[in-house]
Amino acid sequence: MEYWISYLYLFIVGGIIFTIPFIIAFKKKSISLKNPYDRWLVFAVLAVMILYAVIQGVWTYLVVY
């Protein structure tokens, strides 16, 4: 478990920080999923985070096990 603490902290605490601007931007209507360009932007930003979560998760798993 000690090898996973940093990973969990990164994606839980980092994930909370990452989510704050999404909530504000949607609440203030500065982005909208109805706008095709905003939609692309939202998914691209999410994809970056998910990609890093997967890569670093698989990497840790392969090293530890």
Partner 1 sequence: MDLFGRVLMIQTTVLDIVIIVAYFVGILAFGAYFMRYTKTTRDFFFGGQRFSWWLIGMSSVATTIGSYSFIKYAAAGYRYGFSSSMTYLNDWIILPFFVFGWLPIIYFKRIISIPEYFEKRFDRKSRIAALGIMLIYMLGYVGINFYTLGVALQPLLGINLYYIVIFVAVISAIYMHAGGQTSVIMTDLLQGFLLIICGFTLFYLGINHLGGFEKFLDGLPLTHKLPLANFNHPPKFNFAGIFWQDGVVNTVGFYFINQGVLMRFMSAKSHRESYKALFFVLLVLMPVAAIAAANAGWLGKAMVFYGMLPENTDPQHIFVAVTNLVTKPGLFGLILAALSAALMSTIDTLITAISALFVNDIWRPFVVKDREDRYYLKVAKWSALAISAIGVCLVPIFAAEQSIYVAHGKFIATVIPSLVVVILLSVFWKRFTPAAAFWTLVIGFIATAVVSYFPQAVQPIAHGVSPEGDYKYMRALFGLIVSLFLAVGITCFTKPKEDIDGLVIDSFYKAKEYFKGGKPNEVPGKTAKVIGQLKDITGVIVSHKILETMKANVGDLIYVTDARWYFGGLHSFHSKICGTHQHDDHIIYFNNENFENANIKENQKLKIEKVL
Q: How far is the CB of 21 from partner 1 (least distance, A)?
A: 4
Between CA 5 and CA 21, with CA 58 as vertex, the angle to 5 degrees is: 65
Q: How far apart are CA 42 and CA 27, in angstroms?
A: 14
- Interacting residues with partner 1 (CB under 8 A): 2-3, 5-7, 9-10, 13-14, 17-22, 24-25, 28, 30-31, 35-37, 41, 44-45, 48-49, 51-52, 55-56, 59-60, 63-64
- Return the DSSP state at 4: T
- Could you say which DSSP state residue 35 is in? S
What is the closest distance, in whole angstroms, from the C-beta atom of residue 33 to partner 1 in the complex? 13
